[in-house]
Structure 1
Amino acid sequence: MRLLKWLSLGAAVWIVYWGLAAWGLRTGFEAWFGEQQRQGWQVSYGPMTTRGFPMRHVTRLNQPLLADPGTGAAWSADWIEFDSPALWPGAQSLRFPATPQHYSFFDQTRSVTAEQMRADLQLAPGLALELEKLSLTSQDWQISDGSGVIWQAQDLLLEMRQLAQAEQYHLTAVATHFAPRGLLRTGFSGLSPTREDLPPRFDALRLRADLGFDTPWDRRAIELRRPQLRQVNLALAEAHWGDMLFRATGALEVDETGRLSGALDLRAENWPAILDMAERLSLLPPSSRRAVEKVLALFSTGTGRAAKIDISLRFKQGQVWAGPLQLGTAPLLVLR
């Protein structure tokens, strides 16, 4: 009988704790959205529900919308779920709907449709909610605009893990069975009859790098300002599609204005076809094609599909150099 009383008391205490924690989570969400609205954001969401008793808290927000007028960035979806253990809300899993999510940046809007899309966050204890680990995974996904599908793949892994220093993170990105249909595939149709032999999927698309920021990623990254890159140690960036290969490694420093310094070692196989792709996708202006081709030809060996380039690019004082040749102005690396 005494054991039964203690069990009943423990169950009652847990019920009260679970309810208070659920109320605290809901209140926290409402307070955060309210604070963003006071700072000028456009914020809206529909009914909020919580379930998962007794071991978890699963909070669903229906019809969420966030828009930051300062950066022009906006996101909306049919719903989003926050799932965490009842004992520690800092281990959050975010689940997204299979229906389209809409992302905007100023006048550009993209729709993301993904199966079983999930983000797992491990946050450090404390008011700052410093990010220790973030992973984004998905099964079949595609990104579209008004003209149709741009990119799609059968899965995705994106992970950012905090290293020994709070501002340092290891980044991994892999998309297997990446299929450049839509705009990219259309861009190659008609280049030449030989382009029809391209495989329907990339053989490899991956990235590994250590990143150093000026501040850790925490709640202020959304509320105030994005942490800015200061170091990039690129272990590997690789895209392999048929007879085309692009691979890069190297180390870069980023100053307070976003200017790059350092060096990248690049390898490009069948680089004329890569230029064809860039021109077709409006990534390379036709007026610049001839000049770029002449410069790359200086470093090229082989011809046709066997043409390849192994080159080191140096970044200094906002300019890009290949050996003694100045190639132009380097892009600024600023996170908005």
Structure 2
Amino acid sequence: MRRLIGLVVLAAALWGGYWFVAARGLEAGLRAWLNGTGGTGWQVSYDKLAVRGFPNRLDTTLDNVLVEGDGFFWQAPFLQVMALSYRPNHVIVVWPHEQRLNTLLGDYAIASADMRGSAVFRPSTSLALDHSGFVVKALTARSGNADVLTAQNARFATRLAPDRVDAHRIGAEVTGLVPSAALLARLSPDGRLPALIERLKIDATLSFDRPLDRFALEQPLTITEIGLEQALLEWGDIGLDASGELSVGQGGLLDGTLRLGVTNWRRVLALSVESGALDPDTAAQLARGLQALARGGDDLDLPLSVREGHVSMGPIPLGTLPPLRLD
């Protein structure tokens, strides 16, 4: 019995020693990394950094955090990064209910009922990302006294693609999205579309020029290919459902083919003209061709071509996709 008690005491002492060494090492490493972000064009400041959670957790809290970059800053009363001490490659991040975000587009107050994410890294020195997830509930973004957008739920997830080190499967979904009154008026000038966008969803595989690991922080990644399994919009009486394969060329210009499913295509075409996305002459030309393809129905399944960012259906130009750049 004494020997057993002695072994238990020894194991507890060794584990306690491991936790304190790991906690101090984590704290020192984080301070060094955060203090060195200035060389990357970003500056991180905080009032206090503490690691707690003895004996089985390594929970890091930063108080009054400010992240600044070129034309950007994000401020929050705290940020929590949590991990099990025996599984430090799996981290959970918790954001506060209220945050402030300032970009070149404006100054926003962000509120949510819950905002958290997690990431699992492969146990290696490069810490390659294996999979991650991000969830927001009851999101509101305000600018001044007006809501810019609200959403019931938003989810985002990634997972390393099978047999690949440089590609990730991604999924994103937003439900119960309400855009600002100004944006709604621009998208639906006649006011016939409801304020609530029921669902936005994207499932795709992104290929990068190198693995998504800790070295990716030193230089921006480049997306080389996009395998779009589904991009879905459900909004009132209209719907869009796209899929296809795209490559990313010089300057982020996209090339490839897309399939676009359209629900209530006449309404979508009318909205495109009203919002200024299509000129009336192009829309009239499209309507004649689409009428034949739809055979009098309300739904369409269209093949589209993308060349250096320009989207067309056969000889008819439809618009231009913006360059895809991560820097």
> TM-score, normalising length from structure 1?
0.85
Q: What is the match of residue 314 of structure 1?
A: 305
Deviation at 1:295, TM superposition (A): 4.5
Shift of 1:201: 3.4
What is the deviation of 1:294? 3.1
Establish whether residue 216 from structure 1 lines up as the match of residue 211 from structure 2.
Answer: yes
Match of 1:15, as an amino acid? Answer: G
Unaligned 5+ runs, structure 1: none
Letter in 1 for 2:201: R
| TM-score with structure 2 setting the length | 0.87
Q: Distance in 2 between matches of 1:108 and 1:276?
A: 31
- One-letter amino acid of the structure 1 residue matched with residue 302 of structure 2: I
1:80-99 matches, within 5 Å, as: 80-99=79-98
Rounded Cα–Cα distance in structure 2 between residues aligned with 1:169 and 1:183: 35
Return the offset for 1:276: 6.6
Inter-partner Cα distance in structure 2 for 1:278 and 1:26: 53
Greater strand share, 1 or 2? 2
Over residues 270-302 of structure 1, what are the superposed CA-to-partner deviations in whole Å (9 max), with x where a residue is unaligned?
34654676678xxx548x542453343244339
Structure 1 residue matching 2:18: 3-state secondary structure: helix
2:30 maps to 1:29: yes
- Supply the distance in 2 between the matched residues of 1:99 and 1:265 (Cα, whole angstroms): 40
Corresponding residue for residue 157 of structure 1: 155
Contact 1:263 1:314 in 2 (8 A): yes
Give the letter aligned to residue 170 of structure 1: R
User: CA shift at 1:78, angstroms?
Assistant: 1.6
- The SS at the match of 1:158 is strand
Question: Structure 1 residues 233, 295: closer, same or farther in 2, change over 3 A?
Answer: farther
Change (3 A) 1:161 1:3: same
Q: 2:252 touches 2:325 (CA, 8 Å); kept in 1?
A: yes
CA contact (8 A) 1:212 1:231 kept: yes
| Matched AA of 1:13 | L
Show the counterpart of 2:54. 53
Aligned to 1:325: 316
Deviations 1:118-165 (A, max 9, x none): 110111123322111111012211233346222222212100111120
- What is the correspondence of 1:65-84 to structure 2 with a 5 Å cutoff? 65-69=66-70, 72-84=71-83
1:1-336 equivalence runs, <5 A: 1-69=2-70, 72-104=71-103, 106-146=104-144, 148-163=146-161, 164-180=163-179, 182-185=181-184, 191-192=190-191, 195=192, 198=194, 201-221=196-216, 223-271=217-265, 273-274=267-268, 285=276, 289-301=279-291, 308-327=299-318, 329-336=320-327
1: CA distance, partners of 2:18 / 2:56? 11
CA distance in 2, matches of 1:65, 1:243: 43
Q: Which amino acid aligns with 1:145?
A: S
In 2 relative to 1, CA 218–162 (structure 1 residues): closer, same or farther, beyond 3 Å?
Answer: same
Cα separation, 2, equivalents of 1:108 and 1:181: 14
Given residue 206 of structure 1, which amino acid in structure 2 is its aligned partner?
Answer: K
Gaps of 5+ in 2: none
Report the residue type matching 1:333 in the other structure.
L
Contact persistence 1:187–1:277 (CA under 8 A): no
Question: SS where residue 140 of structure 1 aligns?
Answer: strand
Q: CA RMSD in A?
A: 2.8
SS in 1 for 2:178: coil
SS class of match (2:125)? coil
C-alpha separation in 2, matches of 1:130 and 1:227: 13
Give distance in 1, aligned partners of 2:257 and 2:149: 29
> Distance between the aligned counterparts of 1:309 and 1:173, measured in 2?
25
Aligned 8 A contact 1:139 1:154 in 2? yes
Once residues 183 and 321 of structure 2 are traced to their aligned partners in structure 1, the CA distance between those partners, rounded to angstroms, is: 25
**CA deviation after TM superposition for structure 1 residue 40, in Å:** 4.2
Residues 12-50 of structure 1: CA distance to partner in whole angstroms, max 9, x if unpaired?
111111111111111111111111124443221111122
- Distance (Å, rounded) in 1 between the aligned partners of 2:202 and 2:40: 35
Assess, with a 3 A threshold, how the Cα gap between structure 1 residues 301 and 219 changes in structure 2: closer, same or farther: same
Distance change (3 Å), C-alpha of 1:11 and 1:291: farther
Amino acid at match of 1:151: L
How far 1:227 moved relative to its partner? 1.5
**How many residue pairs get matched?**
323
